[in-house]
Amino acid sequence: MTKVVVVGDRLVSSATLKEAAGQLNIPGPIEVVEFQWHGDLTKDQFQEKILLIEKGGPEAVDIPEGILPEMIEADYLLVHIAPVSKEMIAAAQQLKLIGTCRGGIEHVAVDAVKEKGIPLIHVIRNAEPVADFTLGLIFAETRNIARSHQAVMAGKWRKSFSNDPYKTTLANLKVGLIGLGYIGKLVVQRLNGLGVEVLVYDPFVDQEAIVAEGLQVTFKALEEVFSEADVISLHVRVTPETTNMVNKALISLMKPSAYLINTARAAILNKGDLVEALKEKRIAGAALDVIWSEPIQQEDDLLQLDNVTLTSHIAGDTIDAIPRSPYLLRNVLNGYFETGKSDMLIRL
């Protein structure tokens, strides 16, 4: 008997995870033990739990009651954003794999997982929406769509903007991507379809494999992407190495006509260095769907700027992406079981 423990939450039900777990291509009969983590909270209350996890990791919140005894003989653990804590990993004596149906892994005690050598696979359940939204932010910022709308709604017929000297069509711009994971590849596909030149920095990808996939990109060093691209879009996870990765040193390499887009995580970007560059007009603008403090505070310096587009962390917010994510996880896991390889396998 293969034992699979699933933990649902307010956004992804344990019933859906259980159904997906029953469709895994693993040996023998499957016993699925299900837990529900704070499924009874309101949307705002659950968002508070998510923020606690994103700031403090899995140890910042409680784990499902009764899960520790079940972890002892668990072979597989599937979750959405429910915590996978050090205590849970310590209890597991035969865990073969952890699967999570979300892009970020802040809810997982990664060091404990690494220490035990347990494979960790995630799926970016909202990759398509985020890729679409990234393009939307590029258009919104470079062509002043949001700023013009805001002015018109306020009764102003605005025709002049701070990036007037640089305005041009997307086809005339080079877009640089920092990170070429699942979302990054989808962004490349869209840019390729629009005939846009794409520069990429990602030291971890197999460049030959990228070419074999038919993606048209030019690989560059990090500093080269920042100095040559007209639009730079961030698509990396938050790790100790990537925290504040984009700072004054890199921003200073950007052209005065260049834009910075972030639909990944705020911590990748040094806030003070970005705000300073925007205030001094050393870059043309920025568009951010992720903010260092969410919701944004009224005294935040970003709200005083006229060369930034801000959205309320909605890049991945579509009606179907999150509820159906267990089935995407099922497909990715079955592919991994068949080949022993996966783009969604986290490098620990």
Task: Write down the residue that tokens 């992406």 correspond to.
Answer: 321
Coil, strand or helix at 156: coil
From the list 143, 190, 282, 313, the catalytic residue is: 313
Could you write out the three-class secondary structure of 212-242?
HCCCCCEECCHHHHHHHCCEEEECCCCCCCC
Catalytic residue among 294, 324, 338, 347: 294
Smallest CA-to-CA distance from 269 within 236, 290, 301, 247 is with 247
To the query of whether residue 265 is one of the catalytic residues in this protein, the response is: yes
Determine the Cα–Cα distance for residues 10 and 43; give it in Å rounded to an integer.
8
Active site residue 294: yes
Cα separations in angstroms, 83 against 6, 32, 122, 272, 332: 12, 18, 14, 31, 21
- Concerning whether 280 is annotated as a catalytic residue, the answer is no
Nearest CA-CA partner of 81 in 55, 106, 115 = 106
Considering Cα of 269, then 275, then 280, then 284, what sign does the dihedral take? Answer: positive
Which residue among 48, 265, 280, 330 is the active-site one? 265
Annotated catalytic sites, by residue? 265, 294, 313
